[in-house]
């Protein structure tokens, strides 16, 4: 009973301080809001309208039609025109363009022999049978840009001669579940939940306890009958609420602004989110027992935040990483919650479907709390 | 004297190679105001932290309110109050909110809490400030609030670590009035200070230097037992005289106070006035008189160190 009263006293005090700390209070709402809008609009893995240069040695009617056909794909924009290949290369080096299309003088005769134009197979004796009609030189350092240009490699040119497209039957049929329109934002919005919660939950809790020591409150507090565990519980409960509010903001706005569907149930969402919040808070508490200042607590948060963004599967597919990196990613709570939240929000998964990740988060929480309680002593030495 | 509230034998605390408190024996009786007097870094704060259970002693026996420390430190929490050197209440909470927080932490009932807070606000003249945030108050107001929070749960034993270091003289006097009231009510008070006038108000003091207890007793006893006599000399070239006198083996110290020189002469010399007149340097002096020692003389005699004349934070106190 006394214990409950002490926890509620800390809880009440924490809310009061939070309400008066306008900056932190603002951040709670602004961080998810801004990042959702920013990343939701900004991150796009379908590359379009790449600025490229054109070197048209042919300069004929057919070459201009070819350029128009390529423009129609929306993959590139011809922003520069050069007379020589050297100038085009300089433009790539100077990053004015990412690629250049070089149309040779004999475009017309190459086209006539090209199978892509669908005029039938030319005599096999001809040496020039398989020569491409034109050449792309590409800044290949960015694999995503290079990939987009490479997708033009086998582009059909039948439209050039106003012939109907001659689509052959594909080898495989691909049915895209959960995101048939292939909008990047559908994957990004649920992915933002673990990223933002990692940042705010670890940062707020670690700073919250360190702040007490930094401002000298701890010296007074440890002279009272309050127990370590009561202090920790009282300190983290407000942040559980904050975490839930942030999840609400992200998924709610994601639905309203970006039309990201919410397919799953509220219960698995709540369960998964609470597990992740608990795991993050226990990590924040552990940091608070290690850090001597709020600045150090912040640095530790960044240390976890960076891999949580880059390795968790938020930006790049988990499966694409080497096995060693996958092991590291498995340690991070964000990786597990990334799978869970995308599963729940997009694929209608239940907690039972995600039990491995759920159990892992629970284990992380228990271990983190045990370590934090072990480290946190009601003494100054 | 009545029963002992604090008893230590050989209380020692080391930080690495540095011995902050060395083999200190203390006996503090109920109802007493006991002062630790010493310069910054002499081990006052460390001693206090060990006695409250905040620090584990490296060696020695400590018994506080019948509890053996550090083992039973948690038992003490309801029975001791601690006012830290720097303000350690919440600056972003109001006076009333701070008191409400600590009364809940100490497990006061709802009615008890209301009554006690009203009582304390009135007693420490904080009623008009009840809604003000602690961070925006003056040093004296904060100190009253800190004292109110420290005595909220009516502790038997109160520790005050340099309570008046950030406070004007007027507030200091009022503060001591409040301490005497508490003491009359039966609360034992342990207070650390580097102000002589404050130490003089204590029932008993311990003079600390480099972690060692140099002297222990009532201010009157300490002055009577001093190993030196005090001469006050008036004259012209006091600065030269001071240098010459300090060089003599019989002189413990000489300090200039305005137009006078205050000289501590070893008690081995039976008649210090006659001794001084016999010196060749005495020609410079116009008047010599033996005066009643004060606590500063006691301090200098026992430590050979000039006490801090100005107030400052005790940063190296641990």
Output the domain CATH number for residue B258. Answer: 3.30.70.920
* Residue A12's pLDDT band (cuts 50, 70, 90): very high
Q: What is the ipTM of this complex?
A: 0.76
First-to-last CA distance in chain A?
30
Residue of B nearest to A379 (CA): B54
Q: Are residues A237 and A345 in the same domain?
A: yes
Q: Are residues B131 and B115 in the same domain?
A: yes
Q: pLDDT: is A201 or B276 the higher one? A: A201
Q: Are residues A195 and A246 in the same domain?
A: yes
Q: Are residues A151 and A263 in the same domain?
A: no
d(CA A85, CA A55): 7
> Token pair for residue B293?
């020692």
Q: Are residues A363 and A229 in the same domain?
A: yes
B164 located within any domain: yes
Residues of B in contact with A378 (CB under 8 A): 73-74
A181 located within any domain: no
pLDDT given at position B317: 38
A341 located within any domain: yes
pLDDT given at position B310: 38
Q: Are residues A142 and A223 in the same domain?
A: no
> Token pair for residue A57?
């040695």
Domain total for chain B? 2
Q: What distances in angstroms separate CA B240 from CA B7, B230, B280, B285, one per listed residue? A: 47, 19, 13, 11
Q: Which residues pair with B82 in a beta bridge?
A: B159
Q: Are residues B280 and B135 in the same domain?
A: no
With 70 as the cut, is the pLDDT of residue B318 above it?
A: no
Looking at residues A204-232, what average pLDDT do you find? 85
d(CA B187, CA B181): 9
With 60 as the cut, is the pLDDT of residue A124 above it?
A: no
d(CA B50, CA A12): 31
pLDDT given at position B313: 39
Residues of A in contact with B105 (CB under 8 A): 6, 9-10, 221, 224-226
A177 located within any domain: no
Q: Are residues B62 and B150 in the same domain?
A: yes
Q: Are residues A280 and A239 in the same domain?
A: yes
pLDDT digits (tens, 9 = 90+) for A248-280: 999 999 999 998 888 888 899 999 999 999 999
pLDDT given at position A128: 53
Q: Is the pTM of this model over 0.80?
A: no
> Token pair for residue A277?
């919040």
B308 located within any domain: no
Count CB-CB contacts under 10 A for residue B55: 24
Domain total for chain A? 2
pLDDT given at position B309: 41
Whether the CB-CB separation of B48 and B34 falls below 8 Å is answered with no
Average pLDDT, rounded, for chain B? 84
Residue with tokens 């070459």: A63
B109 located within any domain: yes
Listed residues B179, B204, B223: the one ending a domain: B223
Q: Are residues A214 and A346 in the same domain?
A: yes
* Residue B316's pLDDT band (cuts 50, 70, 90): very low
A72 located within any domain: yes
Residues of B in contact with A12 (CB under 8 A): 101
Whether the CB-CB separation of B38 and B202 falls below 8 Å is answered with no
Whether the CB-CB separation of B50 and B13 falls below 8 Å is answered with yes
pLDDT given at position B246: 81
Q: Are residues B157 and B274 in the same domain?
A: no
pLDDT given at position B311: 36
Range of the domain at B290: 226-303
The answer to whether the CB atoms of B104 and A220 lie below 8 A apart is no
Q: Which of B77, B92, B104 sits opposite A9 (nearest CB)?
A: B104
d(CA B14, CA B18): 6
pLDDT digits (tens, 9 = 90+) for B10-46: 999 988 888 888 888 989 989 899 999 888 888 888 8
A2 located within any domain: no
d(CA B171, CA B176): 9
Q: Are residues A11 and A65 in the same domain?
A: no
Q: Are residues A209 and A325 in the same domain?
A: yes
Q: Are residues B211 and B238 in the same domain?
A: no
A327 located within any domain: yes
Q: Are residues B76 and B128 in the same domain?
A: yes
A1 located within any domain: no
Listed residues A104, A126, A161: the one ending a domain: A161
CA distance A9 to chain B (A): 6
A→B contacts (Cβ < 8 Å), by residue, are 2, 5-6, 8-10, 12-13, 16-17, 20-21, 215-226, 378-381
How big, in percent rounded to 5, are the helix, strand and coil portions of chain B?
Answer: 35, 30, 35
With 90 as the cut, is the pLDDT of residue B188 above it?
A: yes
Q: Are residues A147 and A200 in the same domain?
A: no
Q: Residue A150: give its domain's CATH number.
A: 3.40.190
* Residue A40's pLDDT band (cuts 50, 70, 90): confident
Q: Residue B80: give its domain's CATH number.
A: 3.40.50.300
Residue of A nearest to B108 (CA): A2
* Residue A87's pLDDT band (cuts 50, 70, 90): very high
Buried b (16+ CB within 10 A) or exposed e, A227-250: ebebbbbbbbbbbbebbbebbebb
CA distance A378 to chain B (A): 7
CA distance A230 to chain B (A): 10
With 60 as the cut, is the pLDDT of residue B315 above it?
A: no
* Residue A48's pLDDT band (cuts 50, 70, 90): confident
Nearest to A338 by CA among A192, A180, A179, A183: A192
Element (H, E) at A53: strand A50-56
Residue of A nearest to B110 (CA): A5
B181 located within any domain: yes
Whether the CB-CB separation of A10 and A231 falls below 8 Å is answered with yes
Q: Are residues B130 and B187 in the same domain?
A: yes
Q: Are residues B162 and B277 in the same domain?
A: no
Q: Are residues B213 and B109 in the same domain?
A: yes
B315 located within any domain: no
CA distance A212 to chain B (A): 9
Say how many CB pairs under 8 Å bridge A and B: 77
The answer to whether the CB atoms of B56 and A222 lie below 8 A apart is no
Q: Are residues B131 and B157 in the same domain?
A: yes
A126 located within any domain: yes
CA distance B201 to chain A (A): 26
- For residues A368, A372, A373 and A374, what is the CA-based torsion angle, rounded to 10 degrees? 100
Listed residues B177, B208, B223: the one ending a domain: B223
Count CB-CB contacts under 10 A for residue A185: 20
Q: Are residues B91 and B37 in the same domain?
A: yes
Whether the CB-CB separation of B194 and B40 falls below 8 Å is answered with yes
Whether the CB-CB separation of B125 and B138 falls below 8 Å is answered with no
* Residue A18's pLDDT band (cuts 50, 70, 90): confident
Q: Are residues B157 and B30 in the same domain?
A: yes
Strands (E), chain A: 50-56, 76-82, 99-103, 135-138
With 90 as the cut, is the pLDDT of residue B76 above it?
A: no
B180 located within any domain: yes
Range of the domain at A61: 50-161
Share of chain B above pLDDT 90, in %: 21
Q: Are residues A56 and A22 in the same domain?
A: no
Whether the CB-CB separation of B92 and B69 falls below 8 Å is answered with no
Looking at residues A326-334, what average pLDDT do you find? 92
pLDDT given at position A369: 87
B98 located within any domain: yes
Whether the CB-CB separation of B227 and B221 falls below 8 Å is answered with no
Q: Are residues A325 and A241 in the same domain?
A: yes
B211 located within any domain: yes
């Amino acid at each position: 009973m006394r214990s409950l009263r002490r926890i509620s006293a800390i809880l009440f005090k924490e809310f009061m301080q939070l309400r008066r700390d306008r900056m932190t209070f603002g951040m709670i709402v602004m961080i998810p809001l801004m990042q959702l809008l920013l990343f939701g609009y900004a991150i796009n893995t379908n590359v379009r309208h790449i600025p490229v240069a054109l070197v048209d040695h042919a300069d004929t009617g057919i070459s201009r039609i070819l350029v128009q056909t390529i423009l129609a794909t929306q993959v590139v924009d011809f922003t520069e025109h050069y007379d020589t290949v050297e100038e085009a290369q300089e433009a790539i080096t100077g990053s004015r363009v990412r690629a250049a299309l070089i149309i040779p003088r004999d475009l017309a005769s190459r086209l006539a022999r090209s199978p892509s134009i669908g005029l039938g197979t030319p005599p096999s004796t001809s040496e020039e049978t398989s020569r491409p009609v034109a050449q792309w030189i590409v800044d290949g350092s960015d694999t995503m840009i290079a990939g987009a240009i490479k997708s033009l490699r086998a582009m059909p040119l039948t439209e050039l001669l106003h012939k109907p497209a001659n689509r052959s039957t594909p080898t495989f049929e691909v049915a895209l579940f959960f995101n048939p329109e292939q909008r990047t934002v559908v994957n990004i919005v649920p992915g933002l939940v673990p990223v933002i919660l990692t940042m705010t939950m670890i940062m707020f809790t670690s700073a919250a306890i360190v702040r007490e020591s930094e401002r000298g409150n701890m010296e007074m507090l440890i002279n009272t009958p309050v127990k370590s565990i009561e202090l920790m519980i009282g300190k983290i409960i407000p942040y559980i609420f904050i975490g839930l509010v942030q999840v609400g903001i992200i998924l709610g706005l994601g639905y309203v602004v970006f039309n990201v569907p919410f397919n799953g149930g509220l219960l698995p969402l709540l369960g998964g989110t609470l597990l992740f919040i608990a795991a993050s808070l226990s990590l924040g508490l552990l940091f608070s027992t290690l850090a001597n200042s709020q600045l150090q607590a912040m640095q530790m948060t960044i240390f976890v935040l960076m891999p949580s963004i880059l390795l968790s599967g938020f930006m790049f597919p988990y499966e694409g990483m080497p096995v060693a990196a996958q092991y590291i990613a498995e340690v991070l709570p964000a990786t597990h919650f990334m799978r869970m939240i995308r599963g729940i929000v997009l694929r209608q998964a239940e907690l039972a479907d995600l039990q491995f990740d759920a159990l892992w988060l629970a284990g992380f929480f228990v271990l983190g709390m045990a370590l934090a309680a072990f480290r946190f002593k009601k003494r100054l030495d | 004297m009545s029963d002992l509230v604090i008893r230590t034998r050989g209380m020692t605390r080391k930080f690495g190679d540095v011995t902050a408190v060395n083999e200190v024996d203390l006996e503090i009786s109920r109802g007493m105001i006991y002062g630790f007097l010493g310069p910054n870094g002499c081990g006052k704060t460390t001693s206090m932290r060990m006695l409250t259970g905040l620090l584990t002693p490296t060696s020695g026996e400590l018994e506080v309110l019948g509890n053996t420390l550090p083992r039973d430190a948690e038992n003490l929490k309801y029975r001791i109050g601690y006012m830290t050197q720097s303000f350690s209440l919440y600056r972003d909470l109001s006076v009333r909110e701070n008191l409400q927080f600590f009364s809940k932490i100490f497990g006061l009932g709802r009615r008890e809490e209301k009554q006690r807070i009203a009582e304390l606000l009135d007693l420490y003249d904080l009623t008009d400030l009840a809604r003000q945030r602690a961070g925006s108050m003056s040093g004296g107001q904060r100190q009253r609030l800190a004292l109110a929070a420290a005595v909220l749960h009516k502790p038997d034993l109160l520790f005050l670590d340099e309570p008046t270091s950030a406070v004007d003289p007027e507030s200091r006097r009022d503060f001591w009035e409040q301490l005497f009231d508490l003491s009359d009510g039966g609360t034992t008070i342990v207070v650390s200070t580097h102000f002589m006038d404050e130490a003089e108000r204590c029932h008993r003091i311990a003079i600390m230097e480099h972690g060692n207890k140099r002297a222990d007793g009532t201010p009157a006893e300490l002055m009577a037992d001093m190993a030196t006599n005090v001469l006050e000399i008036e004259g012209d070239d006091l600065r030269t005289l001071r240098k010459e006198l300090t060089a003599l083996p019989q002189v413990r110290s000489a300090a200039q106070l305005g137009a006078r020189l205050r000289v501590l002469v070893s008690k081995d010399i039976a008649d210090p006035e006659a001794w001084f007149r016999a010196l060749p340097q005495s020609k410079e002096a116009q008047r010599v008189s033996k005066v009643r020692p004060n606590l500063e003389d006691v301090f200098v005699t026992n430590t050979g160190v000039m006490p801090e004349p100005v107030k400052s934070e005790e940063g190296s106190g641990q």
